[in-house]
Structure 1
């Protein structure tokens, strides 16, 4: 039964993660913790093991999504590599700090993070893009399938600093970082939305490899459970990436931010009661 539950969580995480560029961990981590710890339906689940499971899953979500976005030519590889370079040291530090968190502390900090991400998704469309980073940074161009040319960019120093912080969050909580980097790319660096998602998923793929190596070395990966999660997440990511090109994701984003808000509140309450 637990493998069926994990497969379903993995499938949903893959679809949502690839569709809006979140990476999937922001779905898998709270869902698995709740079902495993609170409901007792999955044995051996701890904050460390669920983060280990999440980062391994994100390798395959990132790979599946990247292969699709390569075909649609919506990945800015140079930006991905710059963002990846900034995230690596943060990822390593976050994974190291993770081993010192007990369940109560993890629930509290993760709940605050989920509420922050939900708020960011809520206000994203009301915020005006900031041209300063483009005007004072490295500029890039992208021509979409309608022939419209988009100019975007960023100061490299700021991109490295930002992705260091995102990498730390990714290593600490096992989320892909796309939930933060995608709005930042759109609002601060003026990335076209589809390019932001494709670039984010390539960065998620690269970062998840480093993140996984770290958590494997710490013994955090429940390998048996990856048998259920990884194939389902990979297939889900293919679905999500395909849907990204065919539909507006605003409806899903609205449902997602409400879900994240509720999960965040529940996680904080669980921490306080525990």
Structure 2
């Protein structure tokens, strides 16, 4: 029964992570921490193990959804590699800093981070950046379903700094980084939403390999938990990419924002108790 619950958690995390380009760790980490007192298989769960195991699972979520988005021709590989140059080192630093956090501090910081993600999702939904021609930096073009030409891009240095910060939070909190990367790509770099989500999953796949390696070396990965979570996350990643192409994600974003706020407040309460 415990294994089945973990498989379901993996599937939900993979689906939501792939659908919105978040990675899925933002679901896996709090779920493991919340269920630890109730599931015998999770007895003795620490936040370091939750983060390390989550990052291993995110590798498979990222690979699964990236392969799916490749079929829809939505992944911007060149932008993804450029941003990964920043996010990769950031993920290493974040994973190393994670080992020095106390459990109560971790709960408070992670709770605040989740509420911040909810606010970013709200702003991302409300703010519609105007399309304009990019003349400097890394320039990309995309033709949407209506045949409209969209220009987006970023300066490599600025993009690298943003990506480093996202990678740092990925390694620190085990969340994949997409909850910050997607809004940044859309609002700062004017990425079309579908391209932002697909490219974010590509970046998450690569950065999770880097940050999870650090956690493996530090002994923060429980392979039994990963074995239970990965199958659900793999199929969830494909399912989320499929939904992304078929349905509007407005209502799912609203629901996710509510979940992030509730879980974030609960984590802060637990950390302060």
Does the alignment reach a TM-score above 0.5? yes
CA deviation after TM superposition for structure 1 residue 171, in Å = 0.3
In structure 2, C-alpha distance between the alignment counterparts of 1:185 and 1:109, rounded to whole Å? 24
Partner of 1:111: 111
Runs of 4+ residues over 6 Å off in structure 1? 130-133
How many positions carry a matched residue from both structures? Answer: 272
- Where 2:120 maps in the other structure, the secondary structure is helix
In structure 1, C-alpha distance between the alignment counterparts of 2:130 and 2:218, rounded to whole Å? 40
CA deviation after TM superposition for structure 1 residue 145, in Å = 3.4
1:153 to 2:185 alignment: no
Preserved contact between residue 134 and residue 189 of structure 1 (Cα < 8 Å):
no
1:238 to 2:203 alignment: no
Q: How does 1:167-206 map to 2 (within 5 A)?
A: 167-206=167-206
After TM superposition, the score normalised by the length of structure 1 is 0.96
Q: How does 1:81-230 map to 2 (within 5 A)?
A: 81-129=81-129, 134-230=134-230
Unaligned runs of 5+ in 1: none
Preserved contact between residue 133 and residue 188 of structure 1 (Cα < 8 Å):
no
- Where 2:35 maps in the other structure, the secondary structure is helix
In structure 1, C-alpha distance between the alignment counterparts of 2:131 and 2:255, rounded to whole Å? 30
- Where 2:246 maps in the other structure, the secondary structure is coil
CA deviation after TM superposition for structure 1 residue 128, in Å = 4.0
Deviates more, 1:242-251 or 1:133-142: 133-142
- Where 2:75 maps in the other structure, the secondary structure is coil
Partner of 2:271: 271
CA deviation after TM superposition for structure 1 residue 149, in Å = 1.6
CA deviation after TM superposition for structure 1 residue 146, in Å = 3.0
* Shift in alpha-carbon separation, 1:268–1:80, aligned structure 2, 3 A: same
How large is the Cα RMSD of the aligned pairs?
A: 1.5
Q: What CA deviation, in whole Å up to 9, does each residue of 1:119-144 have, x standing for no partner?
A: 11112222242779944432110123
CA deviation after TM superposition for structure 1 residue 174, in Å = 0.3
* Shift in alpha-carbon separation, 1:232–1:154, aligned structure 2, 3 A: same
Unaligned runs of 5+ in 2: none
After TM superposition, the score normalised by the length of structure 2 is 0.96
- Where 1:245 maps in the other structure, the secondary structure is helix
Preserved contact between residue 87 and residue 166 of structure 1 (Cα < 8 Å):
yes
* Shift in alpha-carbon separation, 1:132–1:168, aligned structure 2, 3 A: farther
Deviates more, 1:191-200 or 1:122-131: 122-131
Partner of 1:255: 255
CA deviation after TM superposition for structure 1 residue 54, in Å = 0.5
